Structure 1
Amino acid sequence: MELDWQDRAFHHHIATLIDAIDGSDFWTRITRVIERFVAFDNWVALVFRRDRAPLVCAESPMPDGTVDLLFRAYLEGMYLLDPFYLNASEKPRAGLITLAEVAPDNFRMTDYYQRYFKSNIIGDEVQFNLPVDGERTLIFSLGAKHHYTERDIALFAMFAPWVVALMKQRLASETFAEGVAEAVASDSAEAQSAAQQGQLSEAGFASRIEAVTQQSGRVALTAREIEVVRLSLSGFSTRAIAERLEISFETVRAHKKHIYAKLGVSSQSELFALFYEPLGRALV
């Protein structure tokens, strides 16, 4: 088989990644290799945890060196509406995951999309996923201001086997806030830290709703109503919610009517603000 200089250069880059697997600049290096073939604008490596705030491995720096307030808001609770997070929690699998695969039918109409995704990622996103166990998934996300082309997606899919393989090897060397050994083996210390910082802990979305209703003196929602709220805020239409929960369209409409009445809101935006405004000041 004949190899040209581009093939040789590519193999050289993969070799440098393998050599850097336990280094502090691993994630930066892997982005540099991929961006030689596909253009993207931001990246982040995280560990998604079921009903827990994600752990940050590394993220692309802000151009001016400041703290990304939108990303801070994401970690404090917005992640619960992220279609990639929901997919990793419900259907964890290794490989390439695209936005088109996981976004609900009304995703671009949600406040999450308008106030976070559109402002922070803007156009499109793909993720390379590696399930760690039943509760955690290591993800490597690439966001773009533009929509990825079919060629871009095809290249990402072609890269997925070696990217995920490198992620698997990297996991043993990863250091989060407290080190991967402690974080992956036991989340107790991280949970305590997150609670001290006012972040969501293991109870997740349901606990957030319960906390908001108790603090504001509103009527508590039922478990089914909480499901409807989360799906609705995530971008599922009334019909899609009905199909997902295997109930009738009219039953979902009735649930929404009861939810609005109990919480004293009259629109989807007010519902979003009720649960996310405390951490969403940076989104305004």
Structure 2
Amino acid sequence: MSLELQDIAWHQSVGRLIETLDKPNFWIALVRLLQQYVPSDSWVILLFSRDRPAVFAECPGTDGGPDPLFQDYLKGLYLLDPFYIASRENNGAGLFRLADVAPECFEQTDYYQRYFRLNVVADEIQINVPLEGERTLCLSLGSRRPFSPEQIALLGLIQPWVMALMRQRLGFEQELLARPTAPAPAWQSRLETAGQKVENALTARELEIARLMLSGCSSKEVARKLAISAETVKVHRKHIYSKLGIKSQSELFALFLQAQDS
């Protein structure tokens, strides 16, 4: 069987990348190699866990400094990220597309309108490596245009290489892995008493429904996830709005944002 020149170039590039496994520029080198085959406009490598995400490397903002929108993400918006939610519900390995994990009403959410489409823009794909302790190492690529089926297929072919390299790199990330991470923001407690008396606090079920609503789940999706009826979901939503003194999901999102700064 003959090898194409492009196949040879790929293996040569991977060989050079392996030599950088212990170098500070490994993550950038890995992303640049992937971008030769699948162009992207943004990227980040982070660790999902029960605490706030730990960032291994990220693309710089437009001015070369930290991206302020991404800082908002790390402060608490990640709780509404379809990829984060999927990693917590099912810590699976492999390549995931936005279409695989996004809830039915994702594009109608304030999270999508006020963060995702401004920061990621159009589409996102993620390679996940599950780790011990309910953690997931993630390499995420964002694009201003939807990734094509051919690009997804190509990433699927090279995914085993990428995942193996990501795992091997962890041996040189012990300092970051050992660093304490900040706990997830207690936005629930803020919603429980946001402008209301303690006796009007949201129940645990109402809090869960509020989070699912904010992430873009339709009433049917919430019902399916929680094994209740769609009508029951609508009743819970009415109670949530009443207790919090709000009338819309946008107002609920505003309370969520306030909780990130508490």
TM-score tier (shorter): over 0.9
Q: Which segment is superposed worse, 63-72 or 36-45?
A: 63-72
The answer for the alignment partner of 1:96 in structure 2 is 95
Q: Which runs of 5+ in 1 are unaligned?
A: 184-188, 195-200
2:162 matched to 1:163?
A: yes
Distance 2:259 2:69 in 1: 13
Deviation at 1:180, TM superposition (A): 3.2
Tell me the residue number matched to 1:48.
Answer: 48
Shift of 1:208: 1.4
1:57 aligns with 2:56: yes
The whole-number CA distance in structure 1 between the counterparts of 2:232 and 2:219 is 10
Taking every aligned residue pair, what percent have the same amino acid on both sides?
47
Aligned pair partner of 1:262 in 230, 235, 243: 243
Report what 2:252 is aligned to.
Answer: 271
The amino acid across from 1:233 in the alignment is L
Structure 1 residues 23-81: Cα deviation after superposition (integer angstroms, max 9, x where no partner): 1111111111111111110100000012x110000001123213211000000000000
> CA contact under 8 A between 1:173 and 1:180: conserved in structure 2?
no
Q: CA deviation at 1:98?
A: 0.9
Letter in 1 for 2:116: F
Residue of structure 1 in register with 2:188 after alignment: 209
Residue 222 of structure 1: aligned partner: 203
CA distance in 2 between partners of 1:130 and 1:224 (Å): 31
- 1:229 Cα deviation from its structure 2 partner: 0.3
Distance 1:108 1:84, change over 3 A: same
Are 1:26 and 2:26 matched, yes or no? Answer: yes
When the two chains are superposed, the root-mean-square deviation of aligned CA atoms in Å is: 1.6
**Paired residues, what number?**
259
CA distance in 2, matches of 1:30, 1:132: 20
3-state SS of the aligned residue for 1:261?
Answer: helix
Aligned to 1:4: 4
Amino acid at match of 2:37: F
- The answer to whether 1:180 aligns with 2:176 is yes
Using structure 1 for the length normalisation, give the TM-score.
0.87
Distance of aligned partners of 1:181 and 1:125 in 2 relative to their CA distance in 1, 3 Å threshold: closer
The amino acid across from 1:231 in the alignment is L
Matched position secondary structure for 2:139 = strand
Q: Answer yes or no: is the 8 Å Cα contact 2:194–2:255 preserved in 1.
A: no
Give the whole-Å Cα distance in 2 for the aligned partners of 1:180 and 1:171: 9
- The 1:162/1:242 distance shift into structure 2, 3 A limit, reads same
Q: Given that residues 22 and 174 in structure 1 are in contact (C-alpha distance below 8 angstroms), is that contact kept between their aligned partners in structure 2?
A: no
1:68-147 equivalences in 2 (<5 Å): 68-147=67-146
Shift of 1:279: 4.6
Unaligned runs of 5+ in 2: none
Q: Which letter does structure 1 place at the counterpart of 2:8?
A: R
> 2:17 aligns to what?
17
- Alpha-carbon distance between aligned partners in 2 of 1:265 and 1:208, rounded to the nearest angstrom: 16
**Deviation by residue 1:114-167 (Cα, 9 ceiling, x = unmatched):** 011011001100011011124210000000010011111101111111100101
1:277 offset after TM fit, Å? 3.9
The alpha carbon displacement at 1:6 in A equals 2.1
What residue number does 1:249 align with?
Answer: 230
Tell me whether 1:238 sits opposite 2:237 in the alignment. Answer: no
Cα distance change on mapping 1:90 and 1:19 into 2, 3 Å: same
User: Quick one: which amino acid aligns to residue 22 of structure 1?
Assistant: D
Matches of 1:212 and 1:237 in 2, distance apart?
21
Q: Read off the aligned partner of 2:123 and give its amino acid letter.
A: D
Provide the TM-score with structure 2 as the length reference. Answer: 0.94
- The alpha carbon displacement at 1:7 in A equals 2.0
